[in-house]
Amino acid sequence: MSGRLILVRHGQTVANVAKKLDTLPPGAPLTSAGQQQALALAERFGSGGRPALLVSSVALRARQTATPVSEAVDRGLDVVEGLHEVQAGDLEGRSDEDAHKVFMGVFRSWYKGDLDERIPGGESGHDALGRYLPQLDELRAAHLGGAGDPGDVVVVSHGAIIRLAVTAMSGVDPAFAVTNHLDNTDAVILAPTPDGGWRLEQWADVLPPFEGPSRGGADDPMG
């Protein structure tokens, strides 16, 4: 089996608990529960196939989640610019219902194909994908494009941008992606295809076909 791209949402943060829109790096640290989630994630990877590469976004929560994995699998951690969460702009730090409605309303527009829509003072869909997807393309070219078994590339990143990016990469039904949030340390697994595309293999605990009602998942807007 060739190497896969595994996109992992970070562990729980104090901002997640408070349902704050926390997107500007470095951002909030992990809670004690988030630290335990990171250790459990490390155990999962430590007992399975050792990844060929471990990457995190620049955000503190992503680095804190990835560090125990790095230690468990004896791999260095590469911190890569461009893999941070969708930027909330004027909504940054807010936890009120009105802010959540605006944030999620823009996301729903993106899933309907209107990537020009912009979070007030923040990013458009084009902005977010334009700095996120090229980083994944570079990782693929460098680590998933060779002969033999290159091993998996694990990227610790953020829930909202992972869902948006995977929709663009794999062609999964946007109606599935917009309603199936990712819990902390949930993973989405993609396999590279010979034509340069991606095949979605797993979305948290969901296997193909990726359709039907929401599985639930995170109750914070960043999932």
Report the candidate in 5, 21, 1 with the shortest Cα–Cα distance to residue 13. 21
Binding site annotation covers 179? no
61 within 8 A of 156, measured Cβ to Cβ: no
Report the candidate in 172, 139, 154, 137 with the shortest Cα–Cα distance to residue 7. 154
Binding site annotation covers 108? no
**71, 81, 84, 85: which is the annotated catalytic residue?**
85
Binding site annotation covers 147? no
Query: Residue 169 is encoded by which pair of tokens?
Result: 């990469």
Calculate the dihedral angle through the C-alpha atoms of 59, 32, 93, 160, rounding to the nearest 10 degrees.
60
Binding site annotation covers 55? no
Q: What angle do CA 54, 59, 63 make, to 5 degrees?
A: 40
Binding site annotation covers 12? yes
**10, 84, 158, 181: which is the annotated catalytic residue?**
10
**10 is annotated as an active-site residue:** yes
Main-chain phi, psi angles of 199, to 5 degrees: -110, 125
Binding site annotation covers 75? no
Report the candidate in 103, 149, 130 with the shortest Cα–Cα distance to residue 4. 149
**85 is annotated as an active-site residue:** yes
CA separation for the pair 23, 28 (Å, rounded)? 9
Binding site annotation covers 180? no
Binding site annotation covers 197? no
CA separation for the pair 191, 145 (Å, rounded)? 11
In this structure, the number of other CB atoms found within 10 A of the CB of residue 67 comes to 16
Binding site annotation covers 31? no
Tell me the binding residues for substrate. Answer: 9-16, 61
Tell me the binding residues. Answer: 9-16, 61
Which are the catalytic amino acids?
10, 85
